Amino acid sequence: MQKLFNYIIKGQGLGVKYILLASVIISFIFSAYIRINGAELVPYANDIINQMLPLKIENGVVVEPKNTIRVAQLKSGDVSVPLPIVLDTTIDTLNTDHAAQGFYLTRTAFYVINDNEVRMHSLDEDVDLVQDDYSNDIKSALTWTAVSLFFLGILFIFVTYFIAAIFYALCAQLLGLLFRKKYSFDLRMRLSVLCFLAVYILYFILSLCGLSSGRLVFFITTLVLQALVIYKLPVVQNEVIVENEKENIWPAEISEEKTTDKAEPQKEVTTKVVKKSVKKISKAKSTKTTSAKTEKKKSSAKKAVAKKKTDK
């Protein structure tokens, strides 16, 4: 826990490296899941493709099969489920107003229909496909899809998590006001990234155990964790850091330096006192010697006067 506090207080940057690391790991797990589990669906995909074959396109027109309507089906034992994949060579143009979502192939065009838009693609290339085993081709396409999703997933997850970290950094500023603490944006970003990723990992583990919750619970949990960390964090004042000529210093180190700085002047004071006492002693000795000399001179003068009197 102390190491995390040290990183939040003393660390550099916005915690981007942790967001990037999380993006790589999550994207790799997702891509690996698609590749591994997709391999189990290869036989079903091969069967669906063969249901639409043979298919021959010449000069932008489907020449085989002619006047045929086919709807792909997912077959599992005796159960068949219709899929939104339709081949209809009885028409040239599809009436998209009444068409459901899915993929449609007419005599002259290929349509992709969803809730938001309708896309039509002309049949420009010549195609000649027969019923065959396309399992290897499907596996190759699945591998390239997983690799593409890996790199696209890194970019998408990184941007999404970075925006989320900025949002939680703003929330951390509001939480800091509640505790009467104010921190820089970089510190709040590092704090938000760690709290966000910690809650995300926790909820990912719970989802593997079959437990799930909504986004509101995730948001509240992250705010609670941020509040606990802010409550434990000390206040770092810029003035203290400037006086000590250090950046991003832990307050305990500042207090230690203060005590050492206070101890040094005391040593200087004691040395000054000793010097003063030595000077006083030397002065006292000098005064004693001078007084002794004067007394000797007086005694010698008195003896001389007494001698003169006796001579007379």
Q: Per residue in 66-112, pLDDT tens?
A: 999 999 999 888 888 999 999 999 999 998 888 889 999 999 999 99
pLDDT, averaged across the chain = 80
- Cα–Cα distance measured from residue 273 to residue 296, given in angstroms and rounded to the nearest whole number: 35
pLDDT for the residue numbered 306: 52
DSSP-derived secondary structure letter, 99:
P
Radius of gyration from C-alpha coordinates of the chain: 44
pLDDT digits (tens, 9 = 90+) for 212-223: 778 899 999 999
Res. 301: pLDDT tops 70: no
Res. 285: pLDDT tops 60: no
Least Cα distance to 172 among 19, 3, 14 occurs for 14
Q: Are strands 55-58 and 61-64 parallel, antiparallel or unpaired?
A: antiparallel
Res. 238: pLDDT tops 60: no
| Residue 123 vs residues 130, 182, 264, 266, 310: alpha-carbon distances, Å | 18, 63, 88, 93, 157
Residue 213 phi/psi, 5-degree rounding, is: -150, 170
Encoded amino acid at 224, one letter:
V
Res. 239: pLDDT tops 80: no
pLDDT for the residue numbered 163: 95
Residue with tokens 């155990």: 209
Work out the pLDDT band at 294, boundaries 50, 70, 90.
low
The model's pTM is: 0.64
Question: Can you say whether the dihedral through the CA atoms of 257, 259, 261, 267 is positive or negative?
Answer: negative
Encoded amino acid at 234, one letter:
P
Query: In angstroms, how far is the first alpha carbon of the chain from the final one?
Result: 107
Q: Are 87 and 69 in contact (CB under 8 A)?
A: yes
pLDDT for the residue numbered 307: 53
pLDDT digits (tens, 9 = 90+) for 255-273: 544 455 544 444 444 445 4
Q: Are 248 and 11 in contact (CB under 8 A)?
A: yes
- Is pLDDT larger for residue 117 or for residue 235? 117
